[in-house]
């Protein structure tokens, strides 16, 4: 009787089209909001580098700009965990600037954390890092489902999705 292994992949993906749509909605809202009338505030999106640059007149407007952007991303079901915010910095002409980088894929150090966490559960599963994703395999579907449930409760800094469940 042959035994088969079951497996699934842990990935971190972001739908870039939804990010495009959210940023376009945020730009449209920026143009219509009363508190931004006459302001030089901007939202710039570089899809190739996966970077968003916010430029505002002062810290309060920057905070409001971040709020507009994060609200639009959340409405579009883009996880806010995928954004890594840089430091606020002074820009030209008294303006304030802040960058956010969109993280796609599981970074190597986060993948190692996940593998360690999975092995710490005591279940009979094997976890291996394969590029920017983690594959978990076992002979028991119940063990795999227990790992998925454990990772849903685990506070990770990147959004996790579970794919290729076989």
Phi then psi for 96, rounded to 5 degrees? -120, 140
16-102 and 6-13+106-163 share a CATH fold: yes
pTM for this predicted structure:
0.82
Greater confidence, 51 or 92?
51
Residue 4 has a pLDDT of: 63
- Residue 85 pLDDT greater than 90, yes or no: yes
What residue ranges do the domains of the chain occupy?
6-13+106-163, 16-102
Tell me the fold of 6-13+106-163. Alpha-Beta Plaits (3.30.70)
The runs of H, that is alpha helices, within the chain are 16-32, 59-75, 108-119, 141-153
> What SS3 state is found at 31?
helix
CB atoms within 10 A of CB 118: 19
- Residue 135 near residue 127 (C-beta atoms within 8 A): yes
- Residue 143 pLDDT greater than 80, yes or no: yes
Domain made up of 16-102: CATH architecture: 2-Layer Sandwich (3.30)
Phi-psi map region of 131: left, alpha, beta (phi>0 left; psi -120 to 50 alpha):
left
């Amino acid at each position: 009787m042959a035994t088969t292994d079951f497996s699934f992949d842990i990935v971190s993906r972001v739908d870039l089209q939804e990010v495009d749509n959210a940023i376009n909605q945020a730009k449209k809202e920026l143009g219509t909001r009363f508190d931004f009338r006459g302001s030089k505030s901007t939202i710039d999106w570089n899809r190739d580098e996966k970077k968003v640059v916010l430029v505002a007149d002062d810290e309060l407007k920057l905070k409001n700009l971040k709020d507009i952007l994060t609200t639009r991303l959340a409405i579009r079901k883009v996880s806010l965990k995928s954004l890594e915010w840089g430091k606020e910095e002074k820009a030209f002409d008294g303006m304030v600037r802040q960058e956010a980088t969109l993280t796609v894929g599981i970074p190597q150090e986060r993948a190692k954390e996940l593998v360690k966490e999975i092995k710490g559960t005591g279940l009979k599963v094997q976890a291996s890092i394969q590029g920017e994703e983690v594959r978990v395999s076992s002979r028991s579907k119940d063990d795999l489902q227990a790992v998925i449930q454990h990772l849903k409760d685990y506070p990770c800094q990147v959004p996790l999705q579970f794919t290729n469940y076989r």
